[in-house]
Amino acid sequence: MKNLLKVQQKLIPQVIEVMERRYSILRQISLSEPIGRRTLSNVLGISERVVRSETEFLKEQSLIDVAVSGMTMTQEGLELLDELKDMMNDIMGLSTLQEKVKEKLGIKKVLLVPGSYDNNPSLIKDVARLGAEYFLSILKDGDIVSITGGSTMLEFSNAIKTEKKYENATIVPARGSMGKDVEIQSNNVVATTSKKLSSNYKLLHIPDELGTAAMKTLTQEPQIKSTLDMIEKTNVLVFGIGIAAEMATRRRLPEEKVEEIVKKGAIGEAFGHYFNENGEIVCKLNTVGIHLDTFKNVKENIAIFAGTKKADALIAMTKINKNIVLITDEESANRILELV
């Protein structure tokens, strides 16, 4: 099939162009359904005339449904989209890009979705879906899974789809509570993920950052200590990428502390540690949850993010630990190559 496509690309290049366009349209409908033609045209940068023509073809093929509320995928369309994924990655050059980023960073694996999150924020759903698919491919019943909080991790948990029950697995929060947005806190992400997996879970009802005395007292409370002990035994860690200044502000650190962290050259944050572009720790907070040493020893580390502004923080993190599977968007991957 790949050889046939290469021949077609040489002899009838417009066939590949049409395939790429129709594949992109199907992908975007699956991400944003129900979606109207005008919105689809704006998101993909394709004229409304072309969108109308292509979606009429896709409807005739029973790949999409069209209603007043917008276009949605049919089951046949979803199945075709899944079947096309690997082949289209080759055609669109994603497979080559994945290998280049993997080699440049020296990490375990790189998986990409086509497109740019910066230009199309709905792409985060596709990135999260790819992350969920990889996670399910390596998850074993009996694993201890730690998950951080954040909007990307919420999308990840929502994207998990499986009929298999992981009754002996345990999902735990990698961090304590942070900020006022309960929905994206680690505890909520853990509860959502556990429900999808039919697994056990433990929550960490404790603020992410504490004073030394309070930390010593609360971490000895039996239920909290039990969760923290479980976190130290993590087999699989799923986490997003934090930008230093944004994370410091989200933690409501004093303005002078935020300025101090930035002045020290911090570009990224992970597990209460702020690090510079060389992966050197420039500031450590007294936080509750997974420690950097645990992160370095976890068997499966899955980093999921989208957006070029986080590329340098990801690069710095790979200098702390090479045992990382990276899942992101195409433009962010190209940005990584520009920076390394």
> Is the pLDDT at 261 greater than 80, yes or no?
yes
Element (H, E) at 232: helix 222-232
Q: Which of 90-94, 149-153, 193-197, 273-277 has the lowest mean pLDDT?
A: 90-94
- The secondary structure of residue 309, as a DSSP letter, is G
> Is the pLDDT at 173 greater than 90, yes or no?
yes
Q: In the chain, what percentage of residues exceed pLDDT 70? A: 92
Do 79 and 128 lie in a common domain? Answer: no
> Is the pLDDT at 297 greater than 90, yes or no?
yes
Please count the structural domains in the chain.
2
Q: Which of 165-179, 206-220, 312-326 has the lowest mean pLDDT?
A: 206-220
CATH code of residue 58: 1.10.10.10
Q: What residues pair up with 43 in beta bridges, in sequence order? A: none
- The secondary structure of residue 308, as a DSSP letter, is G
Between the two ends of the chain, the Cα-to-Cα distance in Å is 35
Region 214-223: mean pLDDT is: 74
Region 21-45: mean pLDDT is: 93
Do 140 and 7 lie in a common domain? Answer: no
Do 225 and 323 lie in a common domain? Answer: yes
User: Which amino acid belongs to residue 76?
Assistant: E
Full domain range(s) for residue 43: 2-87
Do 80 and 98 lie in a common domain? Answer: no
Do 169 and 189 lie in a common domain? Answer: yes
pLDDT digits (tens, 9 = 90+) for 10-19: 667 677 888 8
Burial of residue 83 (CB within 10 Å: 0-12, 13-18, 19+) is exposed
Domain boundary among 87, 113, 144: 87
User: DSSP 3-state assignment of 148?
Assistant: coil
Q: What is the pLDDT of residue 97?
A: 95
pLDDT band at 8 (very low <50, low <70, confident <90, very high): low
Q: Which of 106-110, 167-171, 286-290 has the lowest mean pLDDT?
A: 286-290
Do 179 and 282 lie in a common domain? Answer: yes
pLDDT band at 190 (very low <50, low <70, confident <90, very high): very high
Q: In the chain, what percentage of residues exceed pLDDT 90? A: 68
d(CA 339, CA 1) in angstroms, rounded, equals 35
> Is the pLDDT at 179 greater than 60, yes or no?
no
Q: Which two tokens stand for residue 271?
A: 């597990």
Region 25-52: mean pLDDT is: 94
pLDDT band at 89 (very low <50, low <70, confident <90, very high): confident
Q: What is the pLDDT of residue 178?
A: 58
The structure tokens 């190559």 sit at 337
Region 250-276: mean pLDDT is: 88
Do 161 and 25 lie in a common domain? Answer: no
> Is the pLDDT at 1 greater than 60, yes or no?
no
pLDDT digits (tens, 9 = 90+) for 111-155: 999 999 999 999 999 999 999 999 999 999 999 999 999 899 999
Do 71 and 204 lie in a common domain? Answer: no
The structure tokens 């500031």 sit at 283
Q: What is the pLDDT of residue 139?
A: 97
pLDDT digits (tens, 9 = 90+) for 63-88: 999 999 999 999 999 999 999 888 88
Do 279 and 145 lie in a common domain? Answer: yes
CATH code of residue 121: 3.40.50.1360
d(CA 229, CA 211) in angstroms, rounded, equals 20
Burial of residue 213 (CB within 10 Å: 0-12, 13-18, 19+) is exposed
> Is the pLDDT at 3 greater than 70, yes or no?
no
d(CA 157, CA 193) in angstroms, rounded, equals 5
